[in-house]
Amino acid sequence: MCLACCLAAALLPPRARSYSLNTGLDDPYIFKAEVRDWFTSGSIRYRIASLTPASWWLPHQDKIYMGSTMDYRNLDSTLPVFSAEVRPLKWAAADFEVGDSRFSKGKAYIHNWMDGEKRALLFYNSTVWFSPDHRDYAESSARLTGTTRLYSANAYFRVYRTSVRALHDEYDVQHSLELSAGYSWYEDRLRITQGATILSVDIFPNPPPLGAIAGLDSRFNMTWQGWRVGLRERTRISKEWAFNAKFAFGPTMCYRGEGFWNLSSSSYGNLGSSRIRHKVTGQVLELSASAEWKFWQRFHLTAGYMGWYYRLTSGEQNTYYANGTRTTEQITEFDASRKGFFSSLSFKF
């Protein structure tokens, strides 16, 4: 047996000898631990709208909408992410990751608007707006602080790999491609303070005064969760260097929001003294690309870019007022993102 093996090794050319479906994986490991700093910028923007009764207007007119646009910006933070991956089989792996951070320099812009294509809107003071396109009649700003948390779990199944071979020089390249399926949970908790009215148009009686909004201290919790599927690709260009890319898509990602606006309606328009609930279905897209350097034995440094993007498919907002009444409005737009560069240190065993 030993003689046959030696004879085969002598007769086969070097490159043929290096191919084998049973040789070790590219940088083989059964456990990987990683600490990542994700330098993120975050934003959330959504628009709610309701159709006004035709009897509100003189002359009576239909298809006139009133609504609000919430524009949350600068939800920026350094988000530490800790992850662990196990590979019990050569063709299968699973990972879990968790992250938590705080932000303190966010900014909220709240627009109250009217929309009426090819309509002439006559107000109590004889002001006329012709065909307003989400035209603001009031706008406020506020400070945003809060926290961001994320959890995710994924399973990976390899579907393609270049025939495994020893890297003889720096120009040899290996590719591997894996299908992924997993579940993610992501949350932003917002605190809204230091409000100010920066636009107030005199088209309705008793418009809010310009300047600081006294006593504003409201909360909003926003949670996204659901399944997604995708791909993970790795390209090794030398024994020390590799490039990685991930893509995941969730076609039915669920979003739920719940908040409390602490001001009375007399102090702050239609949003006052109310509990707000969101129910939205949408789509999520997750992307990442990175370069990895094996700098010492089983330790690796990685740097790259990650992005998380969410867009609405359908949704509604229910508002519960202190006097017991409730209103339902359609959420017509909803976009959220968190993206930025990252660096990480990992250990493979």
- CATH code at 30? 2.40.128.90
Whether 42 shows a pLDDT value over 90: the answer reads yes
Q: What is the pTM of this model?
A: 0.87
Whether the pLDDT of residue 6 is over 70: the answer is: no
Greater model confidence, 265 or 239: 239
In sequence order, which residues have a C-beta less than 8 Å from that of residue 245 and are 6 or more positions away? 232, 233, 234, 288, 289, 290
d(CA 97, CA 184): 9
Please tell me the predicted confidence (pLDDT) of residue 208: 86
**Is the pLDDT reported for residue 80 higher than 90?**
yes
Q: Which two tokens stand for residue 52?
A: 């006004």
Has residue 194 been placed in a domain? yes
Q: Measured between alpha carbons, how far is 108 from 192 in angstroms, rounded to an integer?
A: 8
Mean pLDDT of 187-211: 93
Q: What is the number of domains present in the chain?
A: 1
* Residue 14 placed within a domain: no
User: Taking 90 as the threshold, does the pLDDT of residue 184 lie above it?
Assistant: yes
CA distance 315 to 280: 4
> Which pLDDT tens digit goes with each residue over 125-157?
888 999 999 999 999 999 999 999 999 999 999
Residue 177 lies in a domain: yes
pLDDT at 13: 42
Instruction: Report how far residue 68's alpha carbon sits from residue 134's, in angstroms, rounded to the nearest whole number.
Output: 9
Average pLDDT, the chain: 88
Residue 133: inside a domain: yes
Preceding peptide of 205 cis, ω within 30°: no
What is the reported pLDDT for 238? 85
Q: Whole-angstrom Cα distance, residue 277 to residue 220?
A: 9
- Kindly report each contact of residues 15-23 with a partner whose C-beta sits within 8 Å and lies 24 or more positions away, as own/partner: 15/165, 18/164, 18/165, 18/166, 18/168, 19/163, 19/164, 19/165, 20/163, 20/164, 21/163, 21/164, 23/164, 23/165
* Rounded CA separation 204/130 (Å): 16
In-domain check, residue 266: yes
Residue 174: per-residue pLDDT? 86
Write out the residue range of the structural domain in which residue 31 sits.
26-348
pLDDT for 165 equals 57
What pLDDT does 265 receive? Answer: 52
- Domain annotation covers residue 278: yes
Query: Mean pLDDT over residues 65-90, rounded?
Result: 96
Comparing CA positions, the residue from 65, 61, 63, 70 lying closest to residue 49 is: 65
pLDDT grade for 171, boundaries at 50, 70 and 90:
low
Instruction: Answer yes or no: is 20 within a domain.
Output: no
Residue 85 lies in a domain: yes
